[in-house]
Amino acid sequence: GAGPAVRPPRADLQGIRDDAPITLREGRLIREGFHEELDELIHLLRDGKQLILNLEAKERERTGIAKLKVGFNRVFGYYFEVSRAQKGELPEDFIRKQTLANAERFITPELKELEEKISTAQEKRLTLEYSLFLDIREKIAAQSERLLAAALCIARTDFLVSLARAADRYQYTRPLITEKRTVSIIEGRHPVIERSLDPGSFVPNDVHLDQETNELLIITGPNMAGKSTVLRQTALIVLMAHIGSFVPADRAEIGIVDRIFTRVGAMDDLRRGQSTFMVEMNETANILNNATEHSLVILDEIGRGTSTYDGLAIAWAVAEELADKNGRGVKTMFATHYHELTDLATTHERIQNFSIAVREQDNRIHFLHKLVQGAASRSYGIQVAALAGVPDHVVARAQEILTNIEQGEFTATGEPTITVSVRERKQEPYSQMSLFPPKDDPLRNRLKEVDPDELTPRQAQELVYELVEGMKGG
């Protein structure tokens, strides 16, 4: 239940101003009307000059001296001034303070009392406000348990109402919670990103994880295609289902998970002196050491902070471990740029390849943001660089180097042979290269026709000579 009714000292709470300053000794803490003495001090500070003028008018009327006026100096403060001819008309409570050539200056007990109140009002106000604040704070602290209970009740109500309103407004659906080791989401959406886009423009996706053939999903595709969004929305939908919320999907069957592990983003930890790669490995180690068959693991890239071969080796070993951990595996979505990892699906029955679909048109790529079965045919990194505005000549050089590597041209030490840039070949004019490598390669086509098991030693030798001649001529 909600517990006993909360009745805080409301009058005291209302004494604190809504715009009270952060520091406690600047004043302006307590609302006017809360404390009579404080109100008087505030009145003196705000209307002090007018009070002096009111007293001046009062004394003019009492003495009948129309030219009586109030003045101020640093020696004895406020005073009344009259001409020397009129000094005899003043009442006895006027005390002479100064004689001038043509005037006399006087004070009265009432004037000095008012001056004292005005001059000390600021200090008294600060002291009184701080004292009142401490008193209010003590009274509120005495009610802290009841206030915290009320705050918790309000927070829970706000939380549940917010979930209900979101579910109704954004067409969420009630998930089916089961004890199976499955996550099946139909037309799932990211609850935050879809709200930042035009209505109906977010592309929903299906995700299915199970303990038999879809334990680990290797997800490939170019940057900006939407791999990270699919991973994050899956984790959020599973989390929302576990807290009792409806979820942004047409249908969802969520098996109970004990924990959701994520390794996303790339950042270092300067405070602890850890590099990006070290942070990444710490997160990966935590997952491998603590994930169980009932966990959900989200991996958005592993191994980018080290050399290509080291990173690939680590990513490969991590994928194998998660697919087969304790003989049962861990439900995992693994987004990667290492296309070599897609080979795991041929040797591990629990691993499946998925990719984010793209469409090639007029030498450009268009992101479809749709998760589809099968590995990406290529990474499209150079095309993405072109879309991002990398200069054309840099894109062309990158394509030249990529083609060089893909054709298997290596040095004696096994490193890719990087040819001289076309811009540095003085004998050849620079020209824009196609973003797409040539499809017709005579040497490759010739090798595809060869069955090595059918070749005699003599035929193999002749083939080698033929290929060498082809390289020289090509």
CATH number for the domain harbouring residue 250: 3.40.50.300
Q: What is the pLDDT of residue 327?
A: 82
* pLDDT at residue 244, as a whole number: 94
60-69, 94-103, 430-439 — which is least confidently predicted? 430-439
Pairing relationship of beta strands 251-255 and 183-188 according to DSSP bridges: antiparallel
Give whichever of 126-140, 145-159, 215-229, 433-447 has the largest mean pLDDT.
145-159
DSSP for residue 170: T
Residue with tokens 């109500």: 157
Is residue 156 classed exposed, middle or buried when 0-12, 13-18 and 19+ CB atoms within 10 A define those classes? exposed
Q: What is the mean pLDDT of residues 250-255?
A: 97
Q: Report the pLDDT value the prediction gives residue 441, as an integer from 0 to 100.
A: 63
Tell me: do 248 and 373 sit in the same domain: yes
- pLDDT at 265 (0 to 100): 74
In a shared domain, residues 216 and 327: yes
Closest CA to 37 of 132, 102, 153: 132
Rounded Cα gap, residues 31 and 278, in angstroms: 54
Can you read off the two tokens belonging to residue 62? Answer: 């009492």
Considering the domain architecture, whether residues 110 and 96 belong to the same structural domain is answered as yes
Residue 77, SS3 per DSSP: strand
More confident residue, 365 or 41: 41
- Residue 409: per-residue pLDDT: 63
Average pLDDT over residues 127-143: 89
Mean residue pLDDT of the chain comes to 84
Residue 162 within any structural domain of the chain: no
Report how far residue 318's alpha carbon sits from residue 323's, in angstroms, rounded to the nearest whole number: 9
pLDDT digits (tens, 9 = 90+) for 327-360: 889 999 999 988 899 999 999 999 999 999 888 7
Residue 1: the pLDDT is 45
Residue 255 reports pLDDT greater than 70 = yes
Instruction: Return the closest-CA partner of residue 360 out of 381, 383, 382, 335.
Output: 383
152 falls within a domain: no
Pure H helices in 15-64: 36-63
425 and 371 in one domain?
A: no
Rounded CA gap, 435 and 104, in Å? 100
pLDDT above 60: residue 437? no
Give the pLDDT of residue 435: 44
Domain boundary pick from 341, 358, 382: 382
CA terminus-to-terminus distance, the chain: 84
Tell me if 247 is assigned to some domain.
Answer: yes
Which of 382, 401, 428 corresponds to the end of one domain? 382
Percent of the chain whose pLDDT exceeds 90: 51
Do 226 and 240 share a domain, yes or no? yes
Same domain for 314 and 299 = yes
150 within some domain:
no
Segment 3-36, tens digit of pLDDT: 444 435 566 777 888 888 888 888 888 888 888 9
Helices (H), 206-332: 227-242, 276-290, 308-324
pLDDT given for residue 4 in this prediction: 46
What the block records as the tokens of 356 is 């984010």
418 and 447 co-located in one domain: no
Q: What is the CATH number for 29?
A: 1.10.1420.10
The residue assigned the tokens 């996303």 is 264
Q: What is the DSSP letter of 21?
A: -
275 pLDDT band, cuts 50/70/90, is confident
Q: Is the pLDDT of residue 82 over 80?
A: yes
Indicate if 346 and 248 belong to the same structural domain.
Answer: yes
Q: Are 105 and 18 in contact (CB under 8 A)?
A: no
pLDDT score for 105: 93
* Domain co-membership, 338 together with 269: yes
The pLDDT of residue 432 is 45
Q: Is the pLDDT of residue 390 over 60?
A: yes
Q: State percent of the chain over pLDDT 70.
A: 82
Q: Which candidate, 350, 352, 356, places its Cα nearest to that of 378?
A: 356
- Which of 339, 355, 382 is where one domain is finished? 382
Residue 336 resides in a domain: yes
Residue 336 and residue 231 share a domain? yes
Amino acid found at 131: S
Is residue 227 located within the same domain as residue 92? Answer: no
Residue 87 lies in a domain: yes
Alpha-carbon gap, residue 222 to 38, rounded angstroms: 68
Which has the closest alpha carbon to 352: 368, 336, 333, 338?
A: 333
User: Would you tell me the crossing angle of helices 109-142 and 36-63 to the nearest 10 degrees?
Assistant: 170
Higher pLDDT, 235 or 460: 235
CA 90 – CA 381 distance, rounded (Å): 98
Give the range of the structural domain holding residue 419, as residue numbers without chain letter: 391-437
268 vs 335, higher pLDDT: 335
How far apart, in whole angstroms, are the C-alpha atoms of residue 380 and residue 361? 13
pLDDT value of residue 181: 92
Token output for 264: 């996303």
Residue 367 lies in a domain: yes
The three-class DSSP label of residue 254 is: strand
Please report whether residue 158 resides in a domain.
no
Task: Note every long-range contact of 96-102, with CB atoms under 8 Å and residues 24 or more positions apart, other chains counting.
Answer: none
In the chain, the number of structural domains is: 4
Does pLDDT of 58 surpass 80? yes
Q: Are residues 302 and 371 in the same domain?
A: yes
Closest CA to 185 of 243, 229, 232, 247: 247
